[in-house]
Structure 1
Amino acid sequence: MATTEASEHAHKYATLLDSLQDAANLYPKPEGLKYSYGTAGFRTLANLLPPVMFRVGLLAILRSKRLAGATIGVMVTASHNPEQDNGVKLVDPSGEMLEPLWELHATTLANCPSTASLLSTFMTLVSHLRVDLDQPANIVYARDTRPSSPGLVEALEAAFRAFSDGAKVVDLGITTTPILHYVVKATNDKSGESGIPTQEGYMKRMAKAFKTLIGNRGPLAPLHVDCANGVGAFALEEFSKHIGDLLPFRPINTDVKTRGALNFQCGADFVKTKQALPPSVAQSGVLSKPDTRGCSFDGDADRLVYYYLRDGKTFRLLDGDKIAGLVAMYIKDLVGRARMHENNEPLKIGVVQTAYANGSSTKYLKSRNIPVRCVPTGVKHLHHAAQLFDIGVYFEANGHGTVLFSPSCLTTLREFQPDSPESANAIKQLIALSELINQAVGDALSDMLLVEVVLAYRGWGAEEWDAGYEDLPNRLVKVEVHDRSQFVTIDAERKLQYPTGLQDHIDDAVNKFELGRSFVRPSGTEDCVRLYAEAKSTADVESLTTMVTDLLTYYGGP
């Protein structure tokens, strides 16, 4: 009997390997290329990605089977990158980024030079990770609007079909990255507290929470929204059906059909990098009227920045740092009004930033007794650090971020017995806030609604929001170097450990300028380093940037 079972098992494995071999032969890895799974997954020119997509499909199935059939997400997107690029990333069952150890497995599979090597590595992973191939596999996948995405999805689906027992797959089609994360999280949350695991469930959940939080303060003033000619245009249009005129949207850059339009001279990354309005917004003149405000999504709608024209003329950016300050102070107010504690201790509210956060924003938060923690660049670092607070706010300066409510905090909110109408209302608002905000990942649509809620609560326009503090002048530049790997950082990427002696010279340069600060970190995708500098005046920033650039050119040369 045992012999028969072993024989059947061996036959099943052999059949699987034959199927995988036939499929893998259709997606050979190009010679000389090296792929790397970074913060945003794999990302490069779209024509180089088909073999990566196939291998990511295999890893997604392994990951699901390893977790006893938990649903894994796969998102095909390159976010704010130019249209010719594309990418893919995996989403873990909680809606978070892929576990770091599995990032290494993804990179290993992607770089197998041949089909034979791929199959051997695949089976080694099965054995090493103790994956029971008889377990079910469940996958949810989606894509953004890039013309290259359908072909890449075909390669992904080829991996799913190669498994003889199949994988239960759900294709969300064209949708935003945050919606994919939400659906994965909600699918795996059998309690139902994360919401209904569909795009419609996502829309209805946010709309209900938004209406609760706005109360009788609506309808709000119209909001001009730059959709980056990407998938955010679809999400915005769909969401508007659920709230009607409570918040009138004025969509801009919604062309998802014209080749080359995606992220071109528009979107959150353009605004943040250029420190200017998208030309289409500037030419329309819509922000020249008093008390108007605009915001920009990026191509897959997980980043958000706001802006307005002071006196109808001067561009003013309200980036991720400004959003974090606005939101953290609002939550602090609500918690204070709720007069609640967890285990006789006040709820811990904190903000997580990276070294790119403007120094003025950090000073603003600390002066208001909001704890601030600095972590290395990358959503996974921010997300995990935010989880250490009862309510953790994290935003990168580029506009990617969210607010996390710990499970124990949510339990306390739901079970707490308020002692006054004010306390009861504040608790109701906090619960609604947890349902408005995407708890899995940064979400431009959700974050936009969050900002609008806080502005309505304060009775503010963009200018009143902006008045909280003045950003220090700053610059972010790329400096090409011979080998970026020689630049090794420490202290949450704020200091260089190597090359030896370089940090001392950077410190000497910084000390020449009032409120000076500068750091250097290697790029994750290009052979260059990224240099950030800030100081009290624009002239000082330019001088500091030049000095540090010269140092990098000297140390990073051949």
Structure 2
Amino acid sequence: MTSLPVDAIKALADQHPKPPNVVFQYGTAGFRTLGHALDPVMFRVGILAALRSKRLDGKTIGVMVTASHNPEPDNGVKLVDPRGEMLEAAWEAHATNLANAPTTDALIVALEALVQNLRIDLSKPARVVYARDTRPSGPALIASLEDGFKAMGAEARNAGVTTTPVLHYLVKAINTKGTKDSYGDDSEEGYLQKLSTAFKKLVAGKPAIPPLVIDCANGVGAILAEKLAKHLGDTIPLILQNTAIDTLGALNNACGADYVKTSQKLPPSLSSVLKPGQRACSLDGDADRLIYYYLDDRGQFHMLDGDKIAALVAAFIVDLTKSAGLDDQIQVGIVQTAYANGGSTKYLSERLPVKCVPTGVKHLHHAAEHYDIGVYFEANGHGTVLFSPDTLEKLSTYQPSTPAQSTALNHLINLTNVINQTVGDALSDMLLVEVVLAHRSYTGVEWDSLYVDLPNRLVKVVVADRNLFKTEDAERRLVSPPGLQAKLDELVRRYEGGRAFVRPSGTEDVVRVYAEAAVRAQADELAFRVAGLVYDEVGGDPAKRPSEFL
């Protein structure tokens, strides 16, 4: 069996030393921290990606250099598995272990142990495809990553500057090329062609679609949105805003999906652009999240977040399966987290099965795979729709018995092409939303009125040790500290439509409190009372006690 290329690894590893006293952690979003701190991590991720490919018989692994909705000085890297899905959870620990090896010699020891424990056949080929977003720190980090590929002799394809969803798409397209499951042409052009062709078929014969304003977060989504606009032509006129990808400090700054979701207001740059009644949406920095909104006749801002998108899309797909005569053969289900608004959960549970899972895309994606058609969206606007292999097979072989069934079936088949099933994709989801609005003849107002969001509030409590907090029931109930959940239950009972939960952050020593109630003032009050209980329970840092505690 071939052995590790130790000399090549050593020579290059010495150029990317790990600084002492820094601990790296591979989380849901991969590694993410200040861009200037990531050089040694990138090199080691390059090696790990090559080993992952060898472990999977030379299948192509993806590597994306991005920090998504984070501010511009941050950067990060994550690995993508062969079907375009996130890295297998067991390998997150291997990534963390390699990133924290203190010296080159320690790195070699860790690599040799990994190869032995996982029985990696080093004679297998290593293939990777990699890309980055528009951050200024990107080129230097890509160079470090490439040294990792070089050390392992990996066959590496540079996909350049593109969105995270395009990289996920490329991984799946490369690995399914020439098979019956072919996902599309393995190029950015192939991606744009696939989405735009399906979209045009889905809206053919519908009234002209009014222009849509897109806030591109001054990120890589601006590049792709401009290319997509050319493919779509006058089928849907796109008005692109916040496209300053070369302006230092502009990325995600007072714009983008995260800004709109957290501040619940219009990006300032759109205030002179958006007219009452006009639809608009925001992407995030790597174009994998999407938030819609509109201004009403009085100029009042209304947000249509991931919950609203899920409700719109899921109900439409349920209706299509019924119209096609497939509702007894195809089960549509929706997956949410505890952060989903109670109004959306009530609306959806009256129409289809709803499952609640812990926070984090990997939990949602995994649970959605258990349905024939699984819809998942986080409230933050990250989500997609998954069609199981059996369902895809059914759609391709089903014989409709009426023209109406035939039309609905074709719509379902075209939906499988307009949706990026590998990962949440802002541009793909945007086209999906526009399809449903066109079919339903909805403006933002009708969409918004499907259900009313319950007023809610999110509060952070700084604690000395977040590990004291343990949860169950998809993070909706506390099991530790003992006795605290009973106090929360007692408090929640006092509020009409009250609901609250407490969960530790996955990344910092804070505890997050979410509360809902029938009235805005009560939701605020409940959130701060719960935060007060948490604070008193664990003796939070007195200097960081929020002034709004009641």
Identical aligned residues as a percent: 58
Work out the CA distance in 1 between the residues paired with 2:461 and 2:242.
31
TM-score norm. by structure 2 comes to 0.96
Work out the CA distance in 1 between the residues paired with 2:539 and 2:25.
24
Work out the CA distance in 2 between the residues paired with 1:523 and 1:79.
18
Work out the CA distance in 2 between the residues paired with 1:406 and 1:277.
37
Give 1:162 deviation, angstroms. 1.0
Match of 1:157 among 125, 129, 146: 146
Q: Which residue of 2 aligns with 1:305?
A: 291
Match of 1:374 among 356, 369, 378: 356
Match of 2:61 among 57, 60, 72: 72
SS at match of 2:214: strand
Q: Which residue of 2 aligns with 1:520?
A: 502
Could you report, residue by residue, the CA deviation over 1:496-542 in whole angstroms, capped at 9, with x for unpaired residues? 11111221222122111111111111112222121111111111011
Could you report, residue by residue, the CA deviation over 1:339-377 in whole angstroms, capped at 9, with x for unpaired residues? 126xxx431001100000000000001122x11000011
Q: Which residue of 1 aligns with 2:194?
A: 205
Give 1:218 deviation, angstroms. 4.8
Q: How many residues align?
A: 538
Matched, 1:176 2:166: no
Match of 2:114 among 101, 113, 125: 125
Could you report, residue by residue, the CA deviation over 1:53-99 in whole angstroms, capped at 9, with x for unpaired residues? 11111110010000010000000000000111111000000100000
Q: Is the 8 A contact 1:218 1:246 kept in 2?
A: no
**Code of the aligned partner of 1:409:** T
**Code of the aligned partner of 1:327:** V
Matched, 1:506 2:492: no
Q: Which residue of 2 aligns with 1:363?
A: 346
Work out the CA distance in 2 between the residues paired with 1:147 and 1:167.
26
SS at match of 1:245: helix
Give 1:545 deviation, angstroms. 1.2
Could you report, residue by residue, the CA deviation over 1:213-259 in whole angstroms, capped at 9, with x for unpaired residues? 00111531000000000000001000111110110011111110111
**Code of the aligned partner of 1:407:** P
Q: Is the 8 A contact 2:383 2:423 kept in 1?
A: yes
Q: Which residue of 2 aligns with 1:92?
A: 81
Work out the CA distance in 2 between the residues paired with 1:24 and 1:520.
43
C-alpha distance 556-34 of structure 1, shift in aligned 2 (>3 A):
farther
Work out the CA distance in 2 between the residues paired with 1:218 and 1:539.
42
Matched, 1:104 2:93: yes
Gaps of 5+ in 2: 541-550
TM-score norm. by structure 1 comes to 0.95
SS at match of 1:216: coil
Work out the CA distance in 2 between the residues paired with 1:392 and 1:505.
36
Give 1:307 deviation, angstroms. 0.4
Could you report, residue by residue, the CA deviation over 1:315-358 in whole angstroms, capped at 9, with x for unpaired residues? 111000000000011101111110126xxx43100110000000
Work out the CA distance in 1 between the residues paired with 2:127 and 2:426.
27
Give 1:556 deviation, angstroms. 3.2
Q: Is the 8 A contact 1:218 1:247 kept in 2?
A: no
Matched, 1:51 2:40: yes
The farther-off stretch of 211-220 and 226-235 is: 211-220
Work out the CA distance in 1 between the residues paired with 2:399 and 2:419.
24
Work out the CA distance in 1 between the residues paired with 2:83 and 2:538.
41
SS at match of 1:547: helix
Work out the CA distance in 1 between the residues paired with 2:61 and 2:207.
39
Matched, 1:146 2:135: yes
Residues 157-306 of structure 1 aligned to structure 2 (within 5 Å): 157-163=146-152, 166-190=153-177, 191=179, 193-282=182-271, 284=272, 286-289=273-276, 291-306=277-292
C-alpha distance 530-398 of structure 1, shift in aligned 2 (>3 A):
same
Q: Which residue of 2 aligns with 1:385?
A: 367
Q: Which residue of 2 aligns with 1:432?
A: 414
Work out the CA distance in 1 between the residues paired with 2:207 and 2:112.
58
Q: Is the 8 A contact 1:64 1:138 kept in 2?
A: yes
Work out the CA distance in 2 between the residues paired with 1:557 and 1:129.
44
Work out the CA distance in 2 between the residues paired with 1:74 and 1:90.
5
Give 1:19 deviation, angstroms. 1.1
Could you report, residue by residue, the CA deviation over 1:27-50 in whole angstroms, capped at 9, with x for unpaired residues? 121211111111101111111111
**Code of the aligned partner of 2:393:** T
Match of 1:422 among 404, 419, 426: 404
Match of 2:382 among 382, 386, 400: 400
Work out the CA distance in 2 between the residues paired with 1:466 and 1:496.
33
Matched, 1:353 2:339: no
Work out the CA distance in 2 between the residues paired with 1:433 and 1:331.
9
Work out the CA distance in 1 between the residues paired with 2:154 and 2:494.
61
Could you report, residue by residue, the CA deviation over 1:459-478 in whole angstroms, capped at 9, with x for unpaired residues? 11000100111100001122
Work out the CA distance in 2 between the residues paired with 1:503 and 1:51.
43
Q: Which residue of 1 aligns with 2:306?
A: 320
**Code of the aligned partner of 2:414:** A
Q: Is the 8 A contact 2:459 2:528 kept in 1?
A: no
Q: Is the 8 A contact 2:48 2:95 kept in 1?
A: yes
Gaps of 5+ in 1: 1-5
Matched, 1:444 2:426: yes
**Code of the aligned partner of 2:335:** V
Give 1:148 deviation, angstroms. 0.6
Could you report, residue by residue, the CA deviation over 1:421-463 in whole angstroms, capped at 9, with x for unpaired residues? 1111111110000000001000000000000000000011000
Give 1:193 deviation, angstroms. 2.9
